Structure 1
Amino acid sequence: MTAKTPKAPPQKTLAVFDLDNTLTDTLTFWATAVTPVADVLSQNFGMDETHLVKTILAAPSQYRFSDIGHLITWLDEKGELPRAHDRDEQHQIDMTKWILRQSWYATQKKMSVFYPDAVDTLRGLKASGTDVAIYSDTEASSMIRRLWLMAHNARRAGVFKHEDEMLHLVDHFYSHPSIDDDSRILRDVDVRFVQKIKEKMSIWTSGVYKPAPDYLRIIMKDFGAKPAQTVMVGDTHNDGGGAVPNKVSFAWAHYGARIAPEIEKAAKRMASSHYKYGVADIQASFDATCRPDVILKESIAELREKFSFVAGNGFSPYSGATATGPRHSSGGQAQQSLPVYRLHAQTPLHTRPQPLGPATHFEPKP
C-alpha cells in the first residue's frame, strides 16, 4: 500500500504582522508600567479608583497606551491633579509628576524588546524574498518610538549591528495618525531612524480601526498579492476579523495572547470593557468571521513551519479614490488616494525640510 504524500504547506508571498503582542510583549510592559502610576495617582493624589479609571479612559488612546508621560500632563491640564497651596507643595507635586514620567519611560525603554525568535523569523522571510508588512492600530509616532526602542535593545543585545537593520526586515509600516506633534513623542529617537522609517510608512485616514477588512485589501494591493498568497499574524480576534472576510490565512499568535494572571488583572483594571485580554477571552471571541487557520502556540518561529514563504512582488503603492491626509505644520493639505496617507510622497513645497520628516499628526481645524 502506497503511503500518502504529505500535503505541501500553502505558499505565501506576503506576511502581514500586527505589532503589539505579536512581535513584542506590549501588554506585559504596559501593565507593569501603568500599575505604579495608577497607584500613585490614587494614593498620593487622592483620586478614588472609579474616578481614576473613568478619567484615564477618557484620555486620548495614544496617551493611555503609549505615552503615560503625556497622560500626566493631560490630566493636569484637565484639572484632575491637585492644586498646590504654597511653593513647597507645588514642588512636591511637580516632583511626583516627574518621577511618574521617568518611571514610565524607563520601563518602556527596558521592556520594548522583540519576542524570542521574532528577528530570526523576519530574517528568514526576507531571505526567501517574501514581502513583510507591519499593520498596527498604534498611532504612527508611538509605533516609530516603540520600533526604535526594540531596535536599540536588539543592537545592545548583539542581535543587530545597527538599529537600521530593523528597517531592512520590514518593507512597509501601516499605522494611524498621531495626536501630538512628532517632536514631542520622538524627542529622544535617532532622527535618521525617524526619517528612514517614514519613507516606508502609510497612515490610515478614515478613523476606522481593526478589524477593518478594507485596510488589508489595500495592503494586498500595495504588494500585488492575492488573498491566497497572504497571511495575517496577530494576537486577537480583531486581526482575524480583517483576514477571514478577505479569505486571507489568519495565524493566531497564541503565544502573545498568553499572559500572566497578574498582568491580565492589571490590564483589565485600566482598560475599557470591550478590550479582550488573555487566551480565554480572546478564544471566546473567535467566530466564523475571525477564526484562525493556524495557531502559533509557543513561538512566532512556528509560522515558517505552517507555510511555505516565497518571493513577493515588492511594495508599489496602490491608488484609488481621493482622501485627505494630515497637514504638515509648515505646508498645505495634500490629497492622497484611498483612505491612506503615504508619508514617502510628502515633500512640502516651498518650505524648509523638517528634521523629523513629514508630520504624522492631523492638525486641528482652524
Structure 2
Amino acid sequence: MTGRPSPGLDEGALRALVPRALADLVRRGEDFDAAEDALQEALIEALRTWPGAPPRDPRAWLVTVATRRLVDARRSDAARARREQATLAERPPGPARDGDDALLLLFCCCHPGLPPASQVALTLRAVGGLTTREIADAFHVPEATMAQRISRAKRALRGRRLTAPGDLAVVLRVLSLVYAAGHAGRRELTSEAIRLARLLTLATDEPEARGLLALMLLNHARLPARLDAHGRIVALDRQDRTRWDTREIAEGVRVLQSALALGRPGRYQIEAAIAALHDDAASADETDWPQILAWYDDLVALTDDPVRRDPAAVLGRAVALGHAVGAAEGLREADTLREVLGDRHRWHAARGHLLELAGDLAAAGAAYAEAARLATNVAERDHLVRQAARVRSDGRA
C-alpha cells in the first residue's frame, strides 16, 4: 500500500492482513506459535494507534512490530536480535510474494507431525483467519475444546523449522474441509479455498489437485441458488438454475477434463464429474442419472469398506440407483445400509428422498422428520423440517 495514508482500517480488513504477515514471519524461520503471539500483540497495538495515525503500509507495520516483539523476547541473545533486525531491513514484505503466503501457511498447517483435526483447525485459524470461537462453531464443539486443539497443534510445531510440509493428499483433504466449512455458512472461506486450490494446480501436476479445484468450482457455481430470500436451504432439484454461474461451470468442466485426460482418476475427479452432470442438466428431470450412477460405482470402488469409510458415497449411490433404475431399487439399497448408517441423519434424509420418489409421502415425511431430529447443523435441520412439512402437505392434498 503506497501513497497517502488511509483514514483508518476496520477490524475485518486488519484481520485479513494477519495470514500474510504470519507467512512473512514463518518464511523467515520464526517459530509458528511465537510468531502468532507476537502478531496478536501487534494487532492490539494497531487497534490502539491506527485510528489516530494509520500507517502507509499496514502489513509491513504489523510485521515490523511483531518482529520487534520477537526480538525483545530474545533480547538475552544480542547477536540473534541483530540478525533479526538486519533481516527485517533487507527483506521487507513485497506484493510479488503475496500469492505464495497462504499456500506456504497451508502446507505448514498440514505438517505431518500434526493429527488431522489439528491440521484443519490450525488451517482455519492461520489461513482462513477465523477466531477460535468461529472454528468451534463450525465443527460443533465447545470453544475451550477447540482452543486446546489449536494450542496443542502450535506446541507440536514449536521449535521446528517448517521446511517439511505435509504431503499433498493431506493438503487436499484439509483444503476440501475448509471449502466445506465455507459452503455450510462462511462463504468467504469458499473463495479462499478456491484461491488456494488454484495455487496448488500451479505448483503440482497431480490430477487430484485439478479435480478438487473443478469440484469446488462446479459446486460454487450453484451457491447463488442454494439459499432462498430468507436464507433457507433450497434442495438441488428445486433450485432456480438460471441463477447458476455458467462461466464458473464452464471453467470447472475445463479443469476436470484436463485432470481426467491424465488417466489417473481419483476421488475429487469422480466427485467433480458427478457435480458436472448435475450442472449440465437444464432441469432436474433432465439429469443423466445412469451416468451419475456409473460414476458413483467408480467412487464406491475406491475403498475396501465404503459403507464405513465413505458413507456419503454409498448413500449417493443409493439415491442415484433410485433415479436411474427405480425408487424401489434405491430403497432396497438404502435399507442394506441401515445397520451401519441408520443412526445418521443423512441416511434418513436419503431414504426420505427415495420414499418421496416412490410416492409414499407419509413415510417420506416421517423419514425427513427423523433426519431433522438427528441433524446437528441448524440450517440443515430447518431444511429437513420444511421437507417433512412439504411432503406431508402434498400427501393431504
Shorter-normalised TM range: under 0.3
| RCO higher in structure (CA 8 A, sep ≥6) | 1
Q: Which has the higher strand share?
A: 1
Q: Which has the higher helix share?
A: 2
Which structure has the larger Rg? 2
TM-score w.r.t. the length of structure 1 is: 0.24
